[in-house]
Amino acid sequence: MSNKNQPKESNKYGSRLREMTAVLRKHGITGGLTPEKLRLILEDLGPTYIKLGQIMSLHSDILPKSYCEELMRLHSEVTPMPFEQVAEVIRKSYGYEWNEVFQSIDVHPLGSASIAQVHRAVLKTGEDVVVKVQRQGIYKVMSRDISLLHKAAKLVPPGTIKDMVDINMVLDELWTVTQQEMNFLLEAASMEEFAQRNQDVAFVASPLLYREYTTTHVLVMERIDGVSIDNHETLLAEGYDLSEIGAKLADNYVRQIMTDGFFHADPHPGNIRIRDGKIVWLDMGMMGTLTERQRKLIGQAITGVARGDITLCRDAVMGLGEFKEKADKRQLYRDIEDLLDKYGSAELGSMDLAKVFEDLTDVMKRNGIAMPGSLTMLARGLATIEGVVADLSPEINVMSVVTARLSSQLFKDVDWRSELFKDAQAVYASARKSLEIPSLLADAMRTGLKGEANLGIEHHTTPDMTHLVEDALLKLCAALVAAALLICGGLVCRIEPLVGTISFFSVACFALSVVLLVWAFWGKDRKKPRS
């Protein structure tokens, strides 16, 4: 059976290779590669290569700035599919023609990208909306291209890029992310979650979702006109302060990462608009998620860099990834030490966050530590948002925003609280054990005084001596209980303070401890038992 399939597969790939060769000849690849020519070649090669171009546009550390700027156009300026195909996708999704849902659809798209394109439309009920329609047959095309690239990766000789980059892992990640983008129901769920998480942020908004008209291949949402965040001239003309926008944008993005653990993974200028004084986030097709543990470890890694703490960085790096093979902790320690030496005594708020994160990921790669896809998306998102913020206001440093949030929230609300609870538990456990000592000692003394202990020695006691020892032990127990109450009351004040007051529990702890201490130090002894 496999032999029968081979000619079909060979024909499929052979046809695609001929198409690719024709594209390269069309654009005169032998005559050099300008930024515009590279973009046009990727466009003609199809959605898979457009997606690769979008990723390449985020890596100014690899490509010259002119190439990155030109490839950024691939996010929203891809050659659109004809309206006949748009209508066909809608018909297949709804089961009936588009004009049974919409009064009108603009045949000219607002924007066209690798996966889909968007059109202005008006619902039968009169609302102005945007319709996002998936490219016809895109799954089949991209699946074939990814498979072809996997085959090509096998032909790459050792000692080249293959030793520096796990090509198959990159392709797998690209395909995983792309498949998620192709399911508009996932994007719809992301839109709802993003809106819910940011409902308390006065300066942030997102489009309203029309879920009843949304399918796997068609998504309908509120039309957001607004001003693109990179249209500085218009923003200034409308009275906006670019520095204020940059500061709020950076703060919200850091909040998405460090607080929510749910962040926009593709924050390029085409996906951010300003409307009615609010930052409006568009296109939730690519969202990243971070667990509480991952957020804590990221904060730990950044803090380790700031403090020059090798152990803190090493533990964070090891916790964030998974070792492909047995770890060489000494080598990892040396690599992190070199990293910290690179930054030296630089102020945390002056560092390039994306660069710090990139350096940490490089350390992970060199030591065979696999990064979760969420961290890869985070690295790309940080690199993009730093560029957007720097374009708005060069004096704003995203790392300083991270620093402020780490100090005001992460350490206070997570780390310190956690540590305080741990300390409280430890104090409680120690207090319990301490309180058991006098009790055990008293039992032992009673046993000994009654002559029931077999210690191998003779003893002679009197009722007065027994009474004296018991009084002393009771007062010792009271003092220990008072100390425990004082500590617990203080911890509760720090952990769960009430606005302008002290909690009732804390007051009770303090009051009872005072009573016990007064009795322990100044209380009268019990009456002696009658002989």
Asked whether residue 312 falls in the same domain as residue 354, the answer is yes
Tell me whether residue 402 is in a domain.
no
Final residue belonging to a domain, choices 223, 243, 273? 223
Local confidence band at 499 (pLDDT 50, 70, 90 cut-offs):
very low
CA 506 – CA 118 distance, rounded (Å): 59
The pLDDT of 141-153, averaged and rounded, is 83
Decide if 125 contacts 137 (C-beta within 8 A). no
**Statement to judge: residues 375 and 445 lie in one domain:** no
pLDDT bin (cut points 50, 70, 90) of residue 275 is: very high
Is 347 found in the same domain as 445?
no
What does the pLDDT average to over 407-423? 47
Evaluate the CA torsion angle 459, 465, 468, 474 in order and state its sign.
Answer: positive
Mean pLDDT over 334-343 rounds to 85
Q: Are residues 292 and 322 in the same domain?
A: yes
pLDDT for 421 equals 45
Same domain assignment for residues 163 and 252 = no
> At 156, is the pLDDT very low, low, confident or very high (cuts 50, 70, 90)?
low
- Specify whether 106 is located in the same domain as 156: yes
383 in a structural domain: yes
| Mean pLDDT, range 288-309, rounded to an integer | 87
Average pLDDT score over residue span 505-519? 59
Q: What is the mean pLDDT of the chain?
A: 77
31 and 179 housed in the same domain: no
The residue count for the chain: 531
Q: How many domains, in total, are found in the chain?
A: 4
Judgement on whether residues 66 and 121 belong to the same structural domain of the protein: no
Record the tokens describing residue 75, joined without a space.
């996010």
Residue 236, pLDDT > 50, answer yes
* Sheet strands (E) in 29-174: 102-105, 111-112, 116-123, 128-134
Q: Within a domain: residue 409?
A: no
CB 230 within 8 A of CB 388: yes
Per the structure, the complete domain to which residue 343 belongs is given by 231-396
Burial 360-390 (b: 16+ CB within 10 A, else e): bbebbeebbbebbebbbbbbbbbbbbbbbbb
**289 inside domain:** yes
Give the number of other CB atoms < 10 A from CB of residue 345: 5
Position 411 pLDDT exceeds 50: no
Going by the DSSP 8-state scheme, the letter that residue 114 receives in this structure is: S
Tens-digit pLDDT profile for residues 105-133:
999 998 888 889 999 999 999 999 999 99
Quote the tokens at residue 407: 């100090």
Give residue 398's pLDDT.
83
Domain match, 98 and 206 both: yes
Locate 196 and state its tokens: 């819910």
How confident is the model over 241-250, as pLDDT tens digits?
999 999 999 9
Phi-psi region of 210 (alpha: psi -120 to 50; beta: other; left: phi over 0): beta
Rounded to 10 deg, the angle between the 138-155 and 167-182 helix axes is 180
3-state helix, strand, coil in the chain (%, to 5): 65, 10, 25
Q: What is the mean pLDDT of residues 382-398?
A: 89
For residue 318, tell me if it sits in a domain.
yes
- Residue 252 sits in the same domain as residue 154: no
| Core vs surface per residue 455-483: b (16+ CB within 10 A) or e | eeeeeeeeeeeeeebbeebbbbbbbbbbb
Q: Strand, helix or coil at 499?
A: coil
| Cα torsion 122, 133, 56, 205: sign | positive
Contacts of 94 (CB under 8 A, 6+ apart): 100, 101, 215, 218
> Tokens standing for 206?
């997102």
Higher-confidence position of 515 and 301: 301
Residue 527: CA count within 13 A, CB half-sphere: 3
In a domain, 151, yes or no: yes
- On whether residue 201 sits in a domain, the answer given is yes
Query: Can you list the positions of beta strands (E) in 74-197?
Result: 102-105, 111-112, 116-123, 128-134
Q: What is the model's pLDDT at position 423? A: 46
More confident residue, 337 or 128: 128
Count the neighbouring beta carbons within 10 Å of the beta carbon of residue 76: 19
Which residue from 183, 269, 181, 180 is spatially nearest to 226, judged by alpha carbons? 269
Higher-confidence position of 54 and 396: 396
* 374 or 166, greater pLDDT: 374
The reply to whether 380 and 255 lie within a common domain is: yes
H-helix or E-strand spanning residue 272: strand 272-275
Q: Are residues 273 and 302 in the same domain?
A: yes
- The pLDDT assigned to 58 comes to 58
Return the minimum-mean-pLDDT range out of 100-104, 284-288, 323-327, 383-387.
323-327
Q: Distance (Å, rounded) from C-alpha 96 to C-alpha 118?
A: 20
Average pLDDT over residues 70-96: 88
Residues 422-476: pLDDT tens digits? 444 444 444 444 455 555 555 555 555 445 545 444 444 555 555 565 666 666 6
Distances (CA, A) of 171 to 72, 150, 381: 20, 7, 19
Angle at 128 between CA 123 and CA 133, to 5 degrees: 70
Least confident among 109-118, 321-330, 356-365: 321-330
Mean pLDDT in residue range 195-214: 96
Q: Which of 396, 429, 457 is the last residue of a domain?
A: 396
CB 116 within 8 A of CB 87: no
| pLDDT of the residue at 454 | 52
Q: Which of 52-61, 181-190, 334-343, 390-399 has the highest mean pLDDT?
A: 181-190
Quick one: pLDDT band at residue 512, thresholds 50, 70, 90? low
User: Measured between alpha carbons, how far is 358 from 364 in angstroms, rounded to an integer?
Assistant: 10
In a domain, 403, yes or no: no
Max mean pLDDT among 50-64, 222-236, 430-444 falls in 222-236
Three-state DSSP state, 112: strand
| Higher pLDDT among residues 164 and 20, named by residue | 20
Given 206, 223, 240, the domain boundary residue is: 223
**Alpha-carbon gap, residue 19 to 7, rounded angstroms:** 18
Joined together, the tokens standing for residue 348 give 């945390």
- How far apart, in whole angstroms, are the C-alpha atoms of residue 400 and residue 4? 62
Q: Where are the alpha helices (DSSP H) in 393-462?
A: 398-405, 417-449
What is the DSSP secondary structure assignment for residue 211, as one 8-state letter?
Answer: G
204-205 vs 278-281, strand pairing mode:
parallel
Whether 198 has a pLDDT exceeding 80, the answer reads yes
